[in-house]
Structure 1
């Protein structure tokens, strides 16, 4: 099989930001989000289960809550990335504790890399992403050319 081709896509100025945190990192994410509330308020927010509920309470902003990460919420976020319905991922994962859903976490990070979206795994990186001039504007980026991929698959059949 040949390597996948890429094409250009445009991210809107108002981003769709996914917020995810493992249990031991929820406090860090909530504190960070509180400090970044003004910037986050300009965007559409989606989160996994409990994280979404806690963010709504803390920030007083609308946050769409999916199901809990271990029950499939990480996979829901991953599906939205593949559907180009999430533009940026902030995922505070716990490097000190093994997670029962590690394969889901790995799959989420992989799909974010495949679809070339920015990912922050800690407060410092999240601060850098949210302070980027690109966050406030539409811009072009490279994504897999799925239509070309399908044409190649059909030709192989």
Structure 2
């Protein structure tokens, strides 16, 4: 597939997602990084967003709960170029009823070259990167060229 670029703004659009067993861990990480997150636009799936907003006071756009379609909403935002990065503390030891949605979300993040942190260590590296405060060009699929080839 042909590639093109898109520019991530200096003020990133960050998705925050956590499975039930990892919500406390994500909350702790968000509290520790509240100052760094304040300058960005934050999104979260339903329950996670409500918990994070209530406990930290951060402005977070809450989508539906993951199992109720929130993972798919987030995937749509990624496909539209509206999410720049994702922090997703998922539970690798327990299956969830919406595993297909989770897999689809991770797949679409990979397709659109969205950086994804899946644990505290990778989230720390991402939030600490100098590019967090800069515009960054990333390579993405050239959807217009893709359509032109197919039509």
TM (norm. structure 1) is 0.95
Runs of 4+ in 1 over 6 A off after TM superposition: none
Structure 1 residue 29 and structure 2 residue 30: aligned?
Answer: no
Cα deviation for residue 58 of structure 1 reads: 1.4
RMSD of the TM alignment (CA)? 0.5
TM (norm. structure 2) is 0.99
Structure 1 residue 49 and structure 2 residue 46: aligned?
Answer: yes
Cα deviation for residue 86 of structure 1 reads: 0.5
Gaps of 5+ in 1: none
Cα deviation for residue 9 of structure 1 reads: 1.3
Q: Using the alignment, how far apart are the partners of 1:84 and 1:5 within structure 2?
A: 17
Q: Using the alignment, how far apart are the partners of 2:6 and 2:138 within structure 1?
A: 6
Q: Using the alignment, how far apart are the partners of 2:101 and 2:5 within structure 1?
A: 28
Q: Using the alignment, how far apart are the partners of 1:78 and 1:68 within structure 2?
A: 13
* Residue number among 69, 73, 76 corresponding to 1:76 in the alignment: 73
Q: Using the alignment, how far apart are the partners of 1:100 and 1:121 within structure 2?
A: 19
Superposed CA deviations along residues 78-111 of structure 1, whole A, max 9, x for unmatched, are: 0000000110010000011111110100000000
Aligned partner of residue 67 in structure 2, secondary structure: helix
Q: Using the alignment, how far apart are the partners of 2:57 and 2:93 within structure 1?
A: 31
Q: Using the alignment, how far apart are the partners of 1:5 and 1:110 within structure 2?
A: 18
Cα deviation for residue 37 of structure 1 reads: 0.2
Structure 1 residue 59 and structure 2 residue 48: aligned?
Answer: no
Superposed CA deviations along residues 26-71 of structure 1, whole A, max 9, x for unmatched, are: 0000000000000010100000001000111111111000000001
Q: How many aligned positions are there?
A: 151
**1:149 — aligned with what?**
146
Q: Using the alignment, how far apart are the partners of 2:54 and 2:45 within structure 1?
A: 14
